[in-house]
Structure 1
Amino acid sequence: MPRHLPALLDQIHTEAQALFGQGRVADYIPALGEVPPRQFGMAVALCNGETHAVGDAHTPFSLQSITKLFTFVLALKLVGDELWQRVGREPSGAAFNSIVQLETENGIPRNPFINAGALVITDILTTRYAHLDYALLGALRRLADDPELHWNARIAKSERDTAHRNMAMAYFMKSHGNFHNPPELVLDNYCRQCATEMSCSQLAQATMFLANKGRDQSLRGEPDEQFLSADDTRRVNALLLTCGAYDAAGDFAYRIGLPVKTGVGGGIVAIVPGVGTVAVWAPELDAKGNSVLGAFALERLVQLTGWGHNTL
């Protein structure tokens, strides 16, 4: 364990600021396009209970595709291996909102973390939960130890108003029999899900179970909860490593070597099994939809700590 982790975070914070201006915010969702770009936060939560934060680590931001990780886990807990009849486990090699592969692969998305796969996951959960937004928030509030977590109605509406491509995917998958609920209902749930807001500190805490063999450690002194089995935790982390950064997953695995999930809100969460979790946020994105400063910060962290060496 690095003795001077706070100093390393300060160093990374300083270095990362040189990259401001190299990306752009996700302005294809109008409400996200209004986010001030020059922000950076980073938080680390360790399995031994330590937490460290730097910069804008306590500023809430829109999780966007990072929520796909949590809905995937909920669906895996709910239906188990039946899930793999409707979604694959392979990297896509295509943009996160691509519709092309659905045409050639009979409406079966490549993995749960591209938009098409996440829509299928939301469809599964919509069948189970009459109010999926509250079910998801309940799980996130428990994992983050924060009863005040919420989704941003304004961002959800902005996303829903521009969700034409996602709606096309939903109807296309329905034509192949891989969508069971009305696409409009699923899209409503999906957009509310993506508009969930967290800070880096909250996100690091909420994903601790993935670093801790599926056990959720409470900050309030409550007993640990086995939120996910150890085997399923290992499988989730494997998919995050291979599919968690859109069509830049291979580059992230090469540069960082950790299971990650990114989002177009500028957030990235990384898992260091047996050690802890790292959440970074900087809203300027590269051409693949991943945070420029966030990716740099994670790469520097593994260089300075060696945390990526024992994950593969």
Structure 2
Amino acid sequence: MTHADHDLSSILDECAQEAQKLIGQGHVADYIPALARINPDQFGMAVCGVDGTEFTVGQSDTSFSIQSISKVFTLALALQSPGAASVWERVGREPSGNAFNSLVQLESERGLPRNPFINAGAIVVTDVITSHFVSPVLQILSLVRKYANCDDIYIDEEVADSEEESGHRNAAIAHLLKSQGNLVADVDDTLAAYYRQCSIAMTCRDVARAFLPLAAAGQHPLTGQTLMPALRAKRINSLLLTCGLYDGVGNFAYRVGIPAKSGVGGGIAAVIPGHYSICVWSPELDELGNSLAGTRALEVFSHETNLSVF
């Protein structure tokens, strides 16, 4: 099903109108001091078609902290790194059903994180990168810039410092992983890379462009490059659908029905394979850490376009 340009523009306007109704009902991620200071009354959305078309609404060119959306990029990097063979030996592929920063499951399941998108799994994925590259942060940043087709993407050092200062639980997870034999590099080195990947600043437009290879079977419509094999794109999308929104993933699949990855900076990146990559951003979160207005906008988009993976 295709849509004329003006149709998609009007659908995005409707998404924004519906999203605005929820602003004021959530809360920003105040446990990270730099994120606690963000103006909550913001909303942006960008949609990129696999044919290269782009549609935006609201503050789609305002940079925000991508946080856990970065875990998709580090997974893509780890799976093309010299350590690729070890990734699925060290991380599972099942939904967690627990909070994204839980230690309980990690303890009981002997250091094997359920999936690469909860914090424990993402820290292991970052460890794969840290233990195979001399400059892991530069490797991550250059991959993100390549995927977004934008060299201006940067790491917000204020957010990174804030993450480090308040990152006691992540440090606990990393030390627990180390004690259980599932961390290769030095704990501090892996955490330093992890905090910096989470602190990458991007706009909705950047993120939507960066997710295009997942919508276009590994190809990048804007550059013509093959960035990953089609099978890998398909498999990453499957993990987004089952594990991309923490323990809110089932409800999101029910309401929205498309693969997506959220971050506590208020962004959600989503993929409709063969059609679109999408990014919405609104800083206020629901009780599970997913953007409240962003989720609603994606629900409206999926409904109005009649596009979902179901």
Distance 1:276 1:12 in 2: 15
Deviation at 1:80, TM superposition (A): 3.5
Distance 2:279 2:174 in 1: 30
What is the aligned partner in structure 1 of residue 28 from structure 2?
25
Pairwise mapping of residues 256-295 of structure 1 onto structure 2 (< 5 A)? 256-295=256-295
Query: Take 2:190 and 2:52, find their aligned partners in 1: how far apart are those partners?
Result: 37
Residue aligning to 1:42: 45
Q: Report matched runs for 1:95-244 at 5 Å.
A: 95-218=99-222, 222=223, 224-244=224-244
| 145-154 or 77-86, which deviates more | 77-86
**One-letter amino acid matched to 1:59:** T
Aligned-partner Cα distance in 2 for 1:130–1:25: 35
Residue of 51, 54, 58 corresponding to 2:54: 51
Shift in Å, 1:81: 4.3
1:251 positional shift: 0.8
Contact 2:51–2:221 (8 Å) recurs in 1:
no
SS at 1:293's partner residue? helix
Instruction: Deviation per CA, 1:75-107: give whole Å up to 9, x if none.
Output: 112234431110000000000000000111110
RMSD: 0.9
CA distance in 1, matches of 2:276, 2:34: 32
In 2, Cα distance between equivalents of 1:2 and 1:80: 39
Q: Secondary structure at the match of 2:45?
A: strand
Q: CA deviation at 1:14?
A: 1.5
Size of the aligned set, in residue pairs, is: 306
The two structures have a TM-score, normalised by structure 2, of: 0.97
2:282–2:293 contact (8 Å) kept in structure 1 = yes
Q: Helix, strand or coil for the counterpart of 2:33?
A: coil
In 1, Cα distance between equivalents of 2:306 and 2:103:
38
Partner SS state of residue 216, structure 1? coil
Report the counterpart of residue 2 of structure 1 in structure 2: 3
Structure 2: gaps (5+ residues) = none
Q: Matched residues, percent identical? A: 46
Deviation at 1:2, TM superposition (A): 2.3
Distance in 2 separating the partners of 1:251 and 1:127 = 36
Matches of 1:110 and 1:232, distance apart in 2: 19
Native 8 Å contact 2:14 2:300 kept in 1: no
